[in-house]
Structure 1
Amino acid sequence: MPSLSSDSSKTSLTPSVPLTPPTTLKKRTTRDVLSNESPLAPKLLLHDLLKNDKLLTPASSPQKKKIKQSSPLIKRKKPRRTTIHRPIANSVLSLECYPLIKPKEQPHNNYLRHILNTCENIVVVAGAGISTHAGIPDFRSKQTGLYSKEKFNKSLMDINMIYSNESMTLKFNELMVSLYLKSIHAETTPFHQLLDKLAKQKRLKRIYTQNIDSLETKLPHLMEYNDNNNSTNYPILVQLHGNISNTRCNKCNNIQKFDPHRLKTTENPKGDLIASCLECEELEYVRSVAGLRSKGVGSIRPTITLYNEVHQDGDTIANIINYDTKLKSIDLLIIVGTMLSIPHVKKLCQNMAHSLKNGRRKKGHVIFISNEPPTQSVLNAFKDTLDLIVIGDCQTLYNYID
């Protein structure tokens, strides 16, 4: 028998089915394979079908790459936010100097703008410095403060001194009438508008004000937010020292609108040195007609809290302070327009600042804004809890809020 050559053996073993399917072979999709007519359906696994919808692809017709075309309906990814690093404790930003510095060299300015626009629960402790722009003088400024003038001094705000003699009472009346007239005619400042904008955005949790001018009550969004705040029974606006808009009777506690014509001053000599309560007088008249004994008539004065005097709403204010100090959602404390010379206001800011930096709320921010740098006693009280000390006019901060 003749032997087969190696070439002939290879030829005889070569299959008759071509290795490459013809180009006319119809492509079978997943739907065809899974149909009952396809004999391959029981042998295919689900994950194999999901990987590639085309089971057979002719070698002569390679797959075309899909080119992604940009469409205006596709939502593009937002650019990554620039990370704002927290400054070193007690860092200083001068609002008067930063415009001369290049934007890339203003990390503290960018940090201030960032927290004012991103923090959601803000507490503000404000002093007289936010109202001087409206023409209402503060008390302790060296040149423009009321205590710097010879006519007025600190004793005029002491309950034990203002009624000690007629001269002191007359000066107290003139001071109250002057502040009242300036307050009712004053317009809100840009910083007050900043507070109103924060209230409109519902990011202002509380404002503790030392001012008695009641300019905050002229802010529409703040008052609307104050009245419609149903989350707690506490108001948004807390007047730590009362206000000069009303008067209170020391006997019946009746509150009425301040009437400057009732008080005796150098310009109004016909007024009363110590005005009596009209409510008490009417009650006394009714009792006299009824033949009942007299209970006396009280005297009125503005609803402000003086030195050596207990605050009428002191218990309520203490409850609000305790509530805010323990609240974990507060993320920013702004101390503005005050040098914290009054001990209980200083203690309020100190406790709240330490609360923001301790426990679970270490991410809270504390900034101090004033025309003058804080005293060493204030720095010692806050230790390292002040993130930023802003020196300059607080009215310029209105443009920081978007």
Structure 2
Amino acid sequence: MKPLGDVDEGVRKHWDRQLPLTPPATVEKCLERQNHEDITPKKLLPQLKSKSRKPRLKYRPEPNTVFNIDDYMAGIRSGKDVKNAEFVRYALQHSKRVIMITGAGISVAAGIPDFRSSNGLFSQLKGKHGSSGKELFDFNAVYSSDEMNLKFNSMIASLHKLSKNCSPTEFHRMINDIALEGRLQRLYTQNIDGLDTRLSNLATSVPLSIPPPQTVQLHGSINHMECNKCSLVVELDPAVFKCDGENETGVKLVPNCAQCEEYDAVRMAAGIRTQGVGKLRPRVVLYNEIHPEGDEIGRITTSDLRKKPDCLVIAGTSLQIPGVKAICKQFGQKVKASRGIVLYLNQEYPNRAAIETIGCADLVVLGDCQNVPRLLSEDSF
């Protein structure tokens, strides 16, 4: 008999083919996880909601149909109103990639005035300061004299204090819920009050970061100030802008940047030529100035357009700012091209220019925007 090592090569290959492909049942298998209780389940609810199939849209109103939501919630309803209410529910409860573009109207219920209404900020400021309220948001006017700068500082300090004492509205919370479900593609807000970004799912970054945050503040925020030289961004401190002014002489209404002063002192101690000291200002974008983050916002909107949003909601704005009008037009065209839904929500009917900017809204919802989340909480008919 040949030793095992001398077995013919053909016989060895035959034995190899006969070997079992799996270990015998007597071999104890090593389990990586013996205790299944150690496995923590993932929170899949938002993902499951976002991936659920969208129901078929059964009704679409004629373009620019008007739906008075205040009358509807007061019980004044026709058969057409019921269909329009269902359409609003469908848009906000089943759309998968929602773009929100909001204005001051959504914060009025919190106690913060809008800008252009009869009781708005422009009207209030005009009565208080004896000049056009709009001038206090014009870059050329604000920094034209100490008097105008003092008025601007005082206005910003008042708004900052007011916003700190206000809470997000039900409309803000509705947007936050849509974001929680993973269906909000982006919130573009014109508001500088920062009520929206206080909510956990509507966070932003200042300055804008990459990847972009859930909320893009189109006009900045009264919660921050920035140096015009070194671009330092810090939380707004109203005290540094000398808002009382009457009993102060020789004060700097446009304060120096502390970081620039520190860098300048180091350079002087080292015998290096100084580079100057920047000025701090509220991080609010004014009329007649170049938007400091315009290019970045353009990149974000371009990226969002490629993701094919299926719903555009424009709320609480009269669409008077050219840059915002351009964004609304781009998203409106994209959404309509893919048979998505466009809603325009405002207290007053938009002027012809606004309607032409949007292209055509499926539904113009007139009335208090705070009635929209109340509508969603009602049982469907």
Q: Under TM normalisation by the shorter chain, which class is it? A: 0.7 to 0.9
CA distance in 2, matches of 1:117, 1:382: 22
CA contact (8 A) 1:134 1:189 kept: yes
SS in 2 for 1:333: strand
Cα shift at 1:236: 1.4
SS in 2 for 1:303: strand
CA contact (8 A) 2:71 2:77 kept: no
CA distance in 1, matches of 2:189, 2:56: 34
Name the counterpart of 2:312.
333
Name the counterpart of 1:84.
58
TM-score normalised according to structure 1 size: 0.73
CA distance in 2, matches of 1:121, 1:390: 20
CA contact (8 A) 1:92 1:391 kept: yes
For residues 267-292 of structure 1, the C-alpha deviation after alignment (integer angstroms, 9 at most, x for no partner) is 78556311110111111222222232
Is 1:324 equivalent to 2:324 in the alignment? no
Cα shift at 1:145: 2.8
CA distance in 1, matches of 2:358, 2:120: 28
CA distance in 1, matches of 2:123, 2:230: 32
Cα shift at 1:380: 2.8
Taking a change above 3 Å as real, the CA distance of residues 287 and 372 of structure 1, as seen in their structure-2 partners, is same
Name the counterpart of 2:325.
346
CA contact (8 A) 1:336 1:369 kept: yes
Is 1:189 equivalent to 2:163 in the alignment? no
User: Which stretches in structure 1 are left out of the alignment for 5+ residues?
Assistant: 1-80
CA distance in 1, matches of 2:160, 2:326: 29
Q: Describe how 1:281-360 pairs up with structure 2 within 5 A.
A: 281-328=261-308, 330-358=309-337
Name the counterpart of 2:372.
397
Name the counterpart of 1:244.
222
| Percent of aligned positions that are identical | 37
Name the counterpart of 2:51.
none
User: Which stretches in structure 2 are left out of the alignment for 5+ residues?
Assistant: 1-54
Name the counterpart of 1:221.
201
Letter in 1 for 2:159: L
CA distance in 2, matches of 1:281, 1:200: 43
Taking a change above 3 Å as real, the CA distance of residues 92 and 349 of structure 1, as seen in their structure-2 partners, is same
Is 1:143 equivalent to 2:119 in the alignment? yes
SS in 2 for 1:160: helix
CA distance in 1, matches of 2:314, 2:270: 56
For residues 52-90 of structure 1, the C-alpha deviation after alignment (integer angstroms, 9 at most, x for no partner) is xxxxxxxxxxxxxxxxxxxxxxxxxxxxx8963100101
Is 1:387 equivalent to 2:362 in the alignment? yes
Question: Given the alignment, which residue of 126, 134, 153 partners 1:173?
Answer: 153
Taking a change above 3 Å as real, the CA distance of residues 102 and 183 of structure 1, as seen in their structure-2 partners, is closer
Cα shift at 1:251: 1.1
SS in 1 for 2:313: strand
CA distance in 1, matches of 2:292, 2:85: 41
Question: Given the alignment, which residue of 330, 345, 351 partners 1:369?
Answer: 345
Question: Given the alignment, which residue of 136, 148, 170 partners 1:156?
Answer: 136
CA distance in 2, matches of 1:380, 1:313: 27
Larger relative helix fraction: 2
Question: Given the alignment, which residue of 108, 112, 128 partners 2:84?
Answer: 108
For residues 19-54 of structure 1, the C-alpha deviation after alignment (integer angstroms, 9 at most, x for no partner) is xxxxxxxxxxxxxxxxxxxxxxxxxxxxxxxxxxxx
CA distance in 2, matches of 1:305, 1:222: 21
CA contact (8 A) 1:129 1:370 kept: yes
CA distance in 1, matches of 2:334, 2:246: 50
TM-score normalised according to structure 2 size: 0.77
Taking a change above 3 Å as real, the CA distance of residues 268 and 321 of structure 1, as seen in their structure-2 partners, is farther
For residues 291-328 of structure 1, the C-alpha deviation after alignment (integer angstroms, 9 at most, x for no partner) is 32222211100111111211111111001112222322
Larger Rg: 1
Cα shift at 1:103: 7.1
CA distance in 2, matches of 1:389, 1:314: 29
CA contact (8 A) 1:84 1:110 kept: no
Letter in 2 for 1:90: N
Letter in 1 for 2:197: T
CA distance in 1, matches of 2:247, 2:104: 30
For residues 190-218 of structure 1, the C-alpha deviation after alignment (integer angstroms, 9 at most, x for no partner) is 11110111111111110000011111221
CA distance in 2, matches of 1:92, 1:293: 65
Is 1:253 equivalent to 2:227 in the alignment? no
Taking a change above 3 Å as real, the CA distance of residues 216 and 370 of structure 1, as seen in their structure-2 partners, is same
For residues 239-261 of structure 1, the C-alpha deviation after alignment (integer angstroms, 9 at most, x for no partner) is 11111111111111111111111
Taking a change above 3 Å as real, the CA distance of residues 315 and 192 of structure 1, as seen in their structure-2 partners, is same
Question: Cα RMSD between the aligned structures?
Answer: 2.1
Letter in 2 for 1:291: G
CA distance in 2, matches of 1:90, 1:291: 68
For residues 99-133 of structure 1, the C-alpha deviation after alignment (integer angstroms, 9 at most, x for no partner) is 43457552111111122111111000000101111
Taking a change above 3 Å as real, the CA distance of residues 240 and 82 of structure 1, as seen in their structure-2 partners, is closer
Aligned length: 311
